[in-house]
Chain A
Amino acid sequence: MSSPARGATSPGRLRSLGRNLLGLGFVSPYLAFVAVVFAYPFGFAVWMSFHDYFFTAPNVVVEHPFVGFENYVTVLTDPDVRRSFVNILVFLVINVPLTVFASMVLATALNAKLPMRSFFRAAYYVPYITASVAVVGVWLWLFSSGGLVNQLLGDLAPEPSWLVNETLAMPLIAVFVAWKQLGFFIMLYLAALQNVPKELYESADVDGASTVRKFLSVTVPGVRPATTLVLIVATITGANLFTEPYLLTGGGGPDGSSASPVLLMYQRGIEQGSPDVAAAIGVLLVLFVLVVSLINRKLTERG
């Protein structure tokens, strides 16, 4: 009795192993990518953040003594670093809801039967695939003190102007990034909208629901999984803000009001030769993003 049973399970196991092997084959390039490009650097960064570390030439042997939380103390007692985390929080509070709202509304509009729909879909995607440096150039022209926006605003133009205004610099960057990334998030929502059953809209029509009611009661719940994804991706990319404060506000200006943690990581780690301190900022940023993403997830799940 036992022999046939063994005989019966063996081919099953083999088949199962076969399927697993095939699956493993498919996922292994990505696993290798994650291990080499994300996991190892992250582990190394954590290690660095607890040691006195600086980059040296290959033939130079130096000790990298364990320093405990010293780098974290340096970082947490640095007002510039603390401010950069507040700045990025301001950025996320403006950027993430704006991204979710604008991309969902525009995706819904672009999903309807509009004239020149393909053109509009492509138009929203263009800023996303355009190099940041080029787009920043256009925004500098728009928002500098003598720029087009201030000329249109006339006496209503802010003083000091947008990019040198401590209160407005970071919100402007948040709007810029939301605008630049919009095409990508619209695409996610457009894909999600294809899965919302048309019958629901038809039922709503029969019930006499208005366009706004249909949007709130059918579209928004229908694309909730996409909203969770957009929230998390927008939070992660937003927390890694670098190019805009580097180029748009001249290195995190005015007076550090648009400096981001990644900009400080670049300054401390690459420019100033303190990768250990930069790594400590990086680890704190990862924790910060984890906490914010967790809050986002809880909120969307509850909703």
Chain B
Amino acid sequence: MKRALPFAAALLILPLAACGGGSGGDAAKAAGSKGPIKIWYANNPEEIAWAKQMVQSWNSAHKDQKVTAQEIPAGKSSEEVIGAAITAGNAPCLVFNTSPAAVSQFQKQGGLVPLDNFPGAAEHIEKRSGDLAQQYKSDDGKYYQLPWKSNPVMISYNKKMFEKAGLDPEKPELSTYDDFLAASKKLTGKGGAKAAIWPAPSSEFFQSWFDFYPLFAAETGGKQLLEDGKAQFTGPEGQRVADFWKSMYSKGYAQKEKYNGDSFADEKAAMTIAGPWAAKVYGEKIDYGVVPVPTSKGTPAADTKTFSDAKSVGMFSSCKNQGTAWEVMKFATSRDQDGKLLETTGQMPVRDGLTGTYADFFEKNPQYKAYADAAAHTVEVPNVPESIKVWQTFRDAYSRSVIFGKSDPESELKKAAAEAEKLAGQK
């Protein structure tokens, strides 16, 4: 059993570190300052490989501005580690795995540098990411993150399990809720699957990004959970999505118990909601196909919105050589490095005109084409104050009413909406 000691120690250490640390100085001076910097990146093998080559490439051309890179230190989540590092004043200059949902909290902590401080930064972001960039602006109109890569989530399905259930493995009918429910019935019946699809039914705040939110984005044609401070999920579209998932759980097509492992890889579930990373993870083990997430009436693939599951690059205020940090940010999100990211990780750079820019890659790797098309239609989490509290509030209500069916989703989500609006209105 874990005692309260580590938590108490964290409460102790963070403010002590806050008192003892020292950084920053004049913002303008820091923005122009050049020299060595530190960066953190994610710890999956593909991103490690990309980061190592990027750093090597930068360092070979900038001996006086050496980048020292390491994986994000272990913790329950990257956000927790980064939050503690901000408070302690020992955050690196750049983190290539900053969750957009955590940006408002890091911003409130004074941990992030507004990138608008650098000449041409907003132009670089908007030119690279096109209209999608607007979703990453904070409520003061500034960019505290550079939208880096997305993992537009889609429905991956196991062709062998579909065939066994008597479903067309090449062009399965999964575009409407009715189609999806009918296919799920066959998969769990004749197909013998333990679940048609098995999203994690646990209570973590981010789990709704992989069940409710992609379908909500698709059903609404691209609405965020909150827009202009108003909750969007209590409308008829949100209700339809909630009802759909409630049916999936009540009919036993989705399991209420968390699977210990990867239900899709273990062929316990015939479908999963995943991004392009799936190609590298499942590609050699499972013969699978990809379709957009369903909507109530069925939406053409080209018009179907989905959740981005994106990660940004954040620059942290403890960085002394911010001038170099900004140059590294630009370098790491250049056309060349974005191409290498695509090749190494299969994840989509948040770049306008992806399929045209890297036409050769998509020709050689057609399995990524659907994701690239979806990448242009992604919806981000709303960049609002108290974002994580908002998501936890939503998750609790969803869990209670949709997964466990203990209350009516309509009234439960309305209560969550009132609370979410109150939270998002806080400064």
Contacts and interface: CB of A to CB of B under 8 A. Distances in A.
B281 interface: no
A177 B11 contact: no
B8 A37 contact: yes
A58 B21 contact: yes
B23 A240 contact: no
B192 to A, nearest CB: 13
Contacts of B251: none
B317 A59 contact: yes
B80 A271 contact: yes
A48 B9 contact: no
B389 interface: yes
A88 interface: no
A140 B261 CA distance: 11
Interface stretch (B126-134, B366-374, B396-404): B396-404
Contacts of B389: 272, 274
Given A44-B12, A48-B11, A55-B86, A270 B4 contact: no
B1 A241 contact: yes
A222 interface: no
Nearest to A241: B1
A45 B109 contact: no
A282 B4 contact: yes
Given A40-B12, A57-B111, A240-B1, A271 B18 contact: no
Nearest to B77: A271
Contact of B203 (A55, A241, A256): A256
B244 to A, nearest CB: 20
B258 interface: yes
B392 interface: yes
A57 B86 contact: yes
B24 interface: yes
Contacts of B4: 240, 242, 262, 265, 282, 285
Contact of B317 (A57, A137, A240, A251): A57
Contacts of A271: 77, 79-80, 205, 388, 392
A243 B205 contact: no
B386 interface: yes
Contacts of A146: 194
Nearest to B423: A272
Interface in B11-36: 11-12, 14-15, 17-25
A255 B400 CA distance: 5
User: From DSSP, what is the main secondary structure of chain A's interface residues?
Assistant: helix
Interface residues of A, number: 63
Contact of B18 (A38, A58, A177): A58
Contacts of B7: 242, 262, 265-266, 269-270, 282
B1 to A, nearest CB: 6
B406 interface: yes
Contacts of B108: 54, 273
Given A58-B21, A267-B392, A279 B1 contact: no
B21 to A, nearest CB: 4
B interface bracket (residues with beta carbon within 8 Å of A): 35 or more
Contacts of B260: 137, 140-141, 144
Interface in B382-427: 386, 388-389, 392, 396, 399-400, 403-404, 406
A252 B83 contact: no
Contacts of A166: 404
A250 B201 contact: yes
Nearest to A176: B1
B10 interface: yes
A157 to B, nearest CB: 13
B318 A41 contact: no
Contact of A250 (B18, B203, B400): B203
Contacts, number: 174
A59 B255 CA distance: 48
B8 A45 contact: yes
Contacts of A145: 255, 257
Contacts of B87: 55-58
Interface in B95-131: 105, 108-111
B5 interface: yes
A250 B389 CA distance: 18
Interface string A255-267: 1100100100111
A164 interface: yes
B204 interface: yes
Given A45-B8, A251-B203, A255-B399, A55 B3 contact: no
Contact of B89 (A45, A57, A259): A57
A250 B194 contact: no
A58 B257 contact: no
A111 B405 CA distance: 51
Given A243-B1, A254-B256, 20 more contacts: A37-B8, A41-B9, A54-B108, A55-B15, A56-B87, A57-B110, A57-B111, A58-B17, A141-B260, A237-B3, A240-B2, A253-B399, A254-B404, A255-B396, A255-B399, A267-B392, A269-B7, A270-B10, A271-B388, A285-B4
Interface of A: 36-38, 40-42, 44-45, 48, 54-60, 62, 80, 132, 137, 140-141, 144-146, 160-161, 163-164, 166, 177, 180-181, 237-238, 240-244, 250-256, 259, 262, 265-267, 269-275, 278-279, 282, 285
27 contacts: A36-B12, A37-B8, A37-B12, A41-B8, A41-B11, A55-B87, A57-B23, A57-B86, A57-B91, A58-B19, A58-B318, A59-B22, A59-B89, A59-B110, A59-B318, A80-B396, A140-B260, A160-B257, A163-B258, A251-B203, A255-B399, A266-B7, A272-B389, A273-B108, A273-B109, A273-B388, A282-B8
Of all A-B residue pairs in the complex, the 3 with the closest CB atoms, nearest first, are: A250-B202, A60-B110, A58-B21
